[in-house]
Amino acid sequence: MSDLITARRASALSVLKVCGVISTAILSGFTLFALRHILTPLVLAVFLLLMVDGLARALRDRIPYFPDRAALPVAVILIVGLFALTISQLVQTASDFSANSHLYEDKLNTVLEKGSAQLGLTVTPTVAELIKRLNPAHYGGAVARGFSGFGEHSVFVLIYLGFLVASRQGFGRKAKELFPTDARRKEAARVFARIRKGVESYVWVQTVVGVFIAGASAAVMAAMGLNHIVFLTLIIFLFNYIPAIGAAIGVMLPPLLGLVEFDQLWKPIALLAILESVHFGVSHVVQPRMQGKSLNVDPIVVLLALAFWGALWGVVGAFLSTPLTVMAMAILAEFKGSRPLAILLSGDGKPYADTSRL
């Protein structure tokens, strides 16, 4: 009788634990969504700090006689400089589009006439009519709010990054107070090393793949005579940090611009085919080999994380979906109760990054 009571109590506790986990997950998701305007700049700043730290360490380790004190400032300058270059190119390209809008409208009308003739349409729509039907005032407000939010986020990210860089020297002293025993400090250091290794591996893979795709795309765009190559190359490179779909979307932008710059319709079509072929080749030859050696996350989990974090935090969540998943997997692997979940998230069933070379 006592065994039966004990079994029922254990079953009830298991049900309560499952309900507690589900409730915690729902509340955590709601909290992350409600505080997205506060958390996304901070999380981006932490991600940039990890990139700065990894780049500084690479400069010290891989460049002979590189001054240790100069590594961190140089890394900050390079990453912030890339950030500033992207913003300046965005502003310059928007200004060029505004100045040449009448020329683009004439070319788009020509493209529409040719397309209507091939489709056998008796009435050819014009760009002005299409814009009027699309109600640009409605979408213009959304675009303006998006650019305003991007500007505000950029300022907050840089502010957070500056404070994080300034306070990084005190992390070691805080760790000693948070983890008073040597065993707990070693355990915390091991978890942080796994997180850092996973994030740096992801950034390294996406950066190398992005350089391949962006460099090849820039060469193709230059050969075909497309304008705004620097801006488009930066967009393709940055979009590559969105897993699975980012690079495919990025390489579609040059052909869209080619519709208003090229006189022949076959050129943007050919450009699209070549760029997508470059993306397909790099993504299916170079990237899998690099990920197989460094990134231990299941491909299905990558897609689910992209959908989940994209729904919570929008574009920022899409950019950070894989690093956040790597962090979660490293933390979950440290606790007995959550270790099965970390195993499910991993690619090979072993959610323990190799930290021997760190």
Q: What mean pLDDT do residues 35-64 have?
A: 83
Helix axes 299-332, 2-34, angle to 10 degrees: 110
Q: How many domains does the chain have?
A: 1
Residues ≥6 apart with Cβ < 8 Å to 244 = 302, 303, 306
In a domain, 255, yes or no: no
Residue 125 three-state SS: coil
Look at residue 85 in the predicted model and tell me its pLDDT: 77
Q: Are 193 and 57 in contact (CB under 8 A)?
A: no
DSSP for 268-308, please give it: HHHHHHHHHHHHHHHHHHHHHHHHHHH----HHHHHHHHHH
Least confident of 32-41, 53-62, 181-190, 299-308: 181-190
Higher pLDDT, 48 or 98: 48
- What is the per-residue pLDDT for 356? 42
The rounded percent of the chain whose pLDDT value lies above 70 is 71
pLDDT in tens, 289-313: 666 555 677 778 888 888 888 888 8
Q: Two tokens at 281?
A: 């080749």
Token code pair at residue 231: 């801006």
- Range of the structural domain that residue 44 is part of: 31-94+113-178
pLDDT in tens, 251-276: 888 888 887 777 777 888 888 889 88
Confidence check: pLDDT of 355 > 50: no
- Asked if the structure places residue 134 within a domain, the reply is yes
Smallest CA-to-CA distance from 175 within 152, 194, 191 is with 191
What is the pTM for the complete model shown?
0.72
Q: Most distant CA pair in the chain: distance in Å?
A: 88
Write the CA distances from 131 to 226, 283, 304, 358, integer angstroms: 25, 36, 36, 55
For the segment 145-160, the average pLDDT, to the nearest whole number, is: 67
Nearest Cα residue to 260 out of 107, 101, 98, 95: 107
What are the pLDDT digits (tens) for 182-203? 777 787 777 787 777 778 778 8
Considering the domain boundaries, does residue 323 fall inside one? Answer: no
Inside any domain, residue 38:
yes
Domain-located, residue 58: yes
Return the residue matching tokens 């060469």. 219
Burial class (CB in 10 A: 0-12, 13-18, 19+), 352: middle
Q: Is residue 153 part of a domain?
A: yes
Give the torsion sign (CA, 122, 128, 129, 133): positive
Residues in the chain: 358
Residue 173 falls inside a structural domain: yes
Provide the pLDDT for residue 343.
Answer: 83
Distance CA 209, CA 189 (A): 30
Least confident of 94-108, 160-174, 308-322: 94-108
Question: What is the C-alpha to C-alpha distance for residues 337 and 351, in angstroms, rounded to an integer?
Answer: 14
What does pLDDT average to over the chain?
75
d(CA 305, CA 322): 7
Domain assignment present for residue 8? The answer is no
